[in-house]
Structure 1
Amino acid sequence: APGHHTVPRATRDMSRGGVTQSTRDAMARATGTNATVVPTETVAPKAPAKSTRRRRNTRLNLSGLGGGVWFLKPKFRFAAFGFAGGFACAMWFTEHVVKSRIADATRAYEAKREAARRIKRERAEAAKRSGPIIEILDDDYEDGDPTKISDVGTSAEEYKMVLVARTDVPMSGGKLGAQCAHAAVGVVSQLFADSHAMLVGRWEADGSKKVTLGVGSKSKLEGIMAEAKRNRLPHYLVVDAGRTEVDPGTTTVLAIGPGPASAIDAVTGSLRLY
């Protein structure tokens, strides 16, 4: 505009405090200071900035599952979890196996006890069926003693024992031998129990002779046993318990004697060798 004085740009620049550079120079000459240094405001130091990096929590967190292993490195942490899982599986498997074996052992023990009881019952029943060697008979005897045997070992004849085995009952050689042994041992044991040791001694002095004969049926075997009873000869009938080859209650072998050969031949003389 007319009459307007334009101030140069350099003279219009002012400092932060509203003082021009020329004024500062004059003030500096008067005070003897450096006017080029612009006084600044005193600012309180700032606190250091917090790091944005996430720190690892080293405290033990026992409230969660596996909290006690979070302080470990990942590879060790995974190994710890694997070990714990494997240990738990092993304990479960061990408990299952132990319980299974205990159950198997209990069942085997019960089965064994039941088998022992069954065998005991069968033996008792077999003993009842076989009866004593010299039975009390219904016939009347002159001497009034139906259990008295005809000879007690005073005869001059040869003494022997006869084993009458059934040929209609299929038995292996071992089974037949066992049945004959039962019959021989049974009759001798009963003679000792009845105080007839002299008769047994007389038979042993003659070499304990034994002859095995055969009979074709149960009825014939029972007839021979009845004849031995009438002649008062020691006898023993074997009734099998049925645990191996034959049915329970099967009569297998009849032992007659020991006694004088003539007395036994009178009963079994018609039979053939087995």
Structure 2
Amino acid sequence: MKQQSLRSIHRREAIIGWAFVTPQMAGFVIFVLLPLFSVFLYGMQEKNLLFGTTTFIGLTNYGNLFKDPLFIKSLVNTLIFSAGVVPMNLIFSLMLALYLGGGRNGTKFVRSIIFLPVITSGVAWAIVWRYLLQGGTAGPVNWLLAHIGIEGPNWLYAKGWAMASVIVTRVMKNLGMNVLIFMGAVLNMPGDVIEAAQIDGARGWTLFAKIKLPLLMPTVMMVTIVTVIGSMRVFDTIKLMTDGGPEGSTMVMVYYIYHQAFKMFETGYASAIAVTLFLIVLLLTALQWFSRKRISYYES
């Protein structure tokens, strides 16, 4: 009797557990797994939204990718964008976190200013910066430069400057979130370890490089992975500030997916590009994850 009662209790607990888990699992399957599977399937089709035609072509779309000069350009632009955004974001966010974590003057004010762009709409942020970076003296940035005797470039319509402009504005937009994460790590560093190093004579760069950075390295790895993923899937900044120009110099892979799917209506080819981007991000994330033990002294 007692055994039956225990079984009944276990069965009831299992039913309650499944009742709580099922909605989440159903949402994951419907909104994540099925669309992901569909993208892989569409990548093996010649699917045109404009004419409503669908033809299974196997891996032809993937073979055509590396014959497509615009895809190659978008891939290179994506890597350039990430190579600019990730180091700048990590360096500045870590520096600011160390400053703010020290409890110096103006900490609350600086913290608020840094985090404001994070809670600002990405669309609003891009539109405002497009206005600020107008060419000639129409834009406030060039107007200020003109007052100190510097002729500012046409930021968003000159090849080199356009990519630099979107990189800098993207870094400023997301800097606050990484500062917040790093601040948590800085404030949780073991004080006795740092104090012991200071007693032994460690100061300045030596203290940072030999003590603080190794302690922060697990957080640095996590922030790096998140920042790399975010930089590889940028769209709103590119779309609203440069629209992929000038001459495709800021056309990144996500924008090229949009271009193929909703301008050229080639959703099959766009899906193949999306799968390729997914595999690149997966590979970069895996490389960073498996290299964490070599980089972090404190990773067990």
What TM-score, normalized to structure 1? Answer: 0.23
Between Structure 1 and Structure 2, whose CA radius of gyration is higher?
1
- Structure with more contact order per residue of length (Cα contacts < 8 Å, sep ≥ 6): 2
Q: Which has the higher helix share?
A: 2
Q: Which structure's residues are more often strand, by fraction?
A: 1
